[in-house]
């Protein structure tokens, strides 16, 4: 493993080692959020939330853009996705489906 990917792994693990940052990432992966709106979701200062957002951005997990006075943050889906993780996602869909089939078949017995 070269230095660059070591650094990247460090940044990733650091970014994801904090519960608030994981929560922020979950939110921004499901859609763009203003930093103001994110800050309103947590019992901490705007500056503290902004700092968390900056850590996620540095790790390449989150992208920021400006719209007027707002800073909008969105999760970098490309960074956290690959074919393997997509297949994992499909697995959870299918596990749900199989459980529903099983439940329906059991209802009759």
Partner 1 sequence: MPVTDVTKDTERRTFAITAEFAAPVERVWALYADPRQLEQVWGPPEYPATFVAHDLRPGGRMTYYMTSPEGERFAGYWDVDEVDQPSSFAFRDGFADADLNPNPDLPVSRNDYTFAATDEGTRAVFTSTFDSAEDLQKVLDMGIEEGATSAINQIDGFLARTTQNA
Contact between 5 and partner 1 (CB under 8 A)?
A: yes
Contact between 109 and partner 1 (CB under 8 A)?
A: yes
Cβ-Cβ contacts under 8 Å for 76 (sequence gap 6 or more): 60, 61, 62, 63
Question: Which of 40, 41, 54, 82 contacts partner 1 by CB under 8 A?
Answer: 82
Long-range contact list for 44-50, CB < 8 A, 24+ apart?
Answer: 44/20, 49/20, 49/24
Of 45 and 97, the one with the shorter C-beta distance to partner 1 is 97
Footprint of partner 1 (CB under 8 A) = 1, 5-6, 9, 12-13, 16, 22, 25-26, 29-30, 75, 77, 79-102, 104-106, 108-109
């Amino acid at each position: 493993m070269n230095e660059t990917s070591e650094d990247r792994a460090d940044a990733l693990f650091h970014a994801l080692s904090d519960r608030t940052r994981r929560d922020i990432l979950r939110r921004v992966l499901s859609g763009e959020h203003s930093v103001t709106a994110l800050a309103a979701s947590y019992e901490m200062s705007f500056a503290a939330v902004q700092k968390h957002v900056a850590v996620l951005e540095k790790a390449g997990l989150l992208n920021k853009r400006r719209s007027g006075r707002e800073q909008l943050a969105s999760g970098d889906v490309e960074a956290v996705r690959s074919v393997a993780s997509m297949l994992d996602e499909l697995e959870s869909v299918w596990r749900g489906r199989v459980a529903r089939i099983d439940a329906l078949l059991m209802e009759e017995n």
